[in-house]
Chains A and B, each alone.
Chain A
Amino acid sequence: MSVQTISSTPANAARISARSRDRLLNLISPLALLVVWEACARLGFIDTRFFPAPSSVISTLIDMLRTGELVTHTAVSLERLAYGTVFGAVPALLLGITMGLNRSIRALFDPLIAATYPVPKSAILPLALLIFGLGEGSKIFMVAIGVFFPMVINTTTGVLEINKIYLDVGRNYKANRWNTFWTIALPGALPVIMTGLRLGIGIGLVLIAVAEMVGAKSGLGYLIWSAWSTFAVEQMYVGLFVIALIGFLVTLGLNELERIIIPWKTD
């Protein structure tokens, strides 16, 4: 006869260790890729004209940081991204909530959005250059367009998905339009709106790189493009790396923002 013992591992401790194990695994895969890449480059398994060793990319990165060149390009791109996000997100938020609350406005704008949304945003670049010229306007416009569509669509959906009972409460407790907007529609749709913002900034990042390649003399897109024309492959990788890093940090920042502005959200 045997005795079975069920040992009590505290559930909390188990969860924490699982999470830290996930973190460790998250780190291992990119590090392993870099190590393999470095080894292949040094051993001559891959063509370093296209795939320079990570170590040489890093030393280029340090050089570019030292000259201030990288910081300038990054700052310019970030500024365009920030302005574009604001100019795209704010009108999208206002229009989206209004569309969600008002049937007629929704009927009015729905076909316009449905017709313009599928147009590839990068295909609008020549038009943006035509209208706004080579200056900042065209870049900011491209980012704004990229942010606008996912934001307006998600905001409308978010408002429409609010449980009707909350709107009844608003009517019964005599909330006027302004209060319905601020106390019911906006907070009720906020989780879905944040998803829209996340998607929008992702698209904005793609578009800013594209826009800077064609019509700019600064920014990370320009950096990557000029690296191609001068065959400075390491610089190109530095540009790609910084864009990836921005995307990553934006995601982290938005997670944090969400935690602060949506304290009622349950995981």
Chain B
Amino acid sequence: MRSTITIPAAKTDLPEARPARPAIRIRELRKTFGELVAIDGVSVEIAHGEFFMIVGPSGCGKTTLLRILAGLESISSGSIEIATPSSQRPVNSMIFQGDSIFPWMTVWNNAAYGLKMRRAPAALIKDVVGHYLARTGLTRFADYYPHQLSGGMRQRVSIARAFANDPEILLMDEPFSALDAQNKLLLQEELLRIWEEHKKTVVFITHSVDEAVFLGDRIMVMTAQPGKVKTFVQVPLGRPRELMQLQKAPEYGDLISRIWSSLREEVQRARRQEEEMTS
């Protein structure tokens, strides 16, 4: 059985057994900060198990959109419905941009945080955390503190923490933007491998077109502020994916140039807005 949570209104009584119901349904979402319109009329449906990418210029409200989905930000108007598991599982877990693992906890305790917060049985925590630390190559570092790890390893802990929490949807806010190119590639591939296990719904924000095409099933391109949907791009590439193989495929290059040409106008518009503001 599935129920629905609507933000901000209370539970809505939708009839059961609607198989095609999306994991996330956003309708005419609007978010303002005072005078500033951050998100203006975004509507989208994200299917169960979809790896959904959002790209857009800086300041287009993509992080705000993710924070709204994460329940860290309210909405001004419109609605969001998220299909929620009837069990004890959480609705979403977020992988934050930059360092977000607790410096005062060991790798193990960081990865176990979500499960501990919802009082999962110790045996389950041991199994699940052990599994995801192994999947992220951190088993040997379980007792380490974050300051003893590299940036790439810290972000792996963050990934393990989110997956171990076993949420309905995973929210990722440019998780690899602070990493160097090689580490970024490694972590993208690792992320795909771990994701392939259960194919959870993912909403992933990035400013990198390459990353969007490499990881995503579908890409939403956003306009410069105020953030609207510019276009949706389906990624017709099979899985499992490997970057070396992809780069040889002609449709890969086509996709990238298509998305980039659509995005370029917005990046330029964002820059003009910035210049006007500073002058």
Contacts and interface: CB of A to CB of B under 8 A. Distances in A.
Interface of A: 165-166, 168-169, 171-176, 179, 183-184, 187-188, 190, 262-264, 266
B100 A169 contact: yes
A20 to B, nearest CB: 27
Contact of B102 (A168, A169, A171, A174): A169
A161 to B, nearest CB: 13
A264 B106 CA distance: 9
A266 B72 contact: no
B117 interface: yes
Contacts of A173: 90, 93, 113-114, 117, 161, 165
B71 interface: yes
Contacts of A188: 102, 104
Interface size class of B (residues with CB under 8 A): 20 to 34
Contact of A174 (B90, B96, B104, B105): B90
Nearest to B161: A173
Q: Which of A166, A263, A266 has the most CB of B within 10 A?
A: A166
A176 B117 CA distance: 8
A187 B147 contact: no
A173 B113 CA distance: 8
B163 to A, nearest CB: 13
Contacts of A190: 104
Contacts of B93: 172-173
Contacts of A266: 147
Interface string B143-186: 00111000000000000010001000000000000000000000
B117 A165 contact: no
Interface in B247-265: none
B100 A171 contact: no
Interface in B192-242: none
Contacts of A171: 71-72
Interface in B74-116: 90, 92-94, 96, 98-100, 102-105, 113-114
B71 A165 contact: no
B100 A165 contact: yes
A172 B147 contact: no
Contacts of A262: 104
A168 B103 CA distance: 15
Nearest to A173: B114
The residue among B93, B103, B114, B147 with the most chain A CB atoms within 10 A of its own CB is B103
B72 A165 contact: no
Most chain A CB neighbours (cut-off 10 Å) among B100, B104, B145 = B104
Nearest to A262: B104
B118 interface: yes
Contacts of A176: 117
B10 to A, nearest CB: 18
Contact of B104 (A165, A169, A264): A264
A132 B91 CA distance: 56
Nearest to B147: A266
Contacts of A169: 94, 96, 100, 102, 113
B117 A168 contact: no
A172 B158 CA distance: 13
A166 B90 contact: no
B113 to A, nearest CB: 6
A175 B146 CA distance: 20
Nearest to B144: A264
B70 interface: yes
Contacts of B105: 183, 187, 264
Nearest to A188: B104
A115 B200 CA distance: 55
A165 to B, nearest CB: 5
A3 to B, nearest CB: 40
12 contacts: A165-B99, A165-B100, A166-B100, A169-B102, A174-B90, A174-B118, A175-B117, A176-B117, A187-B102, A187-B105, A264-B105, A264-B147
Contacts of B99: 165
A183 B116 CA distance: 11
B72 A174 contact: no
A262 B104 CA distance: 8
Nearest to A169: B100
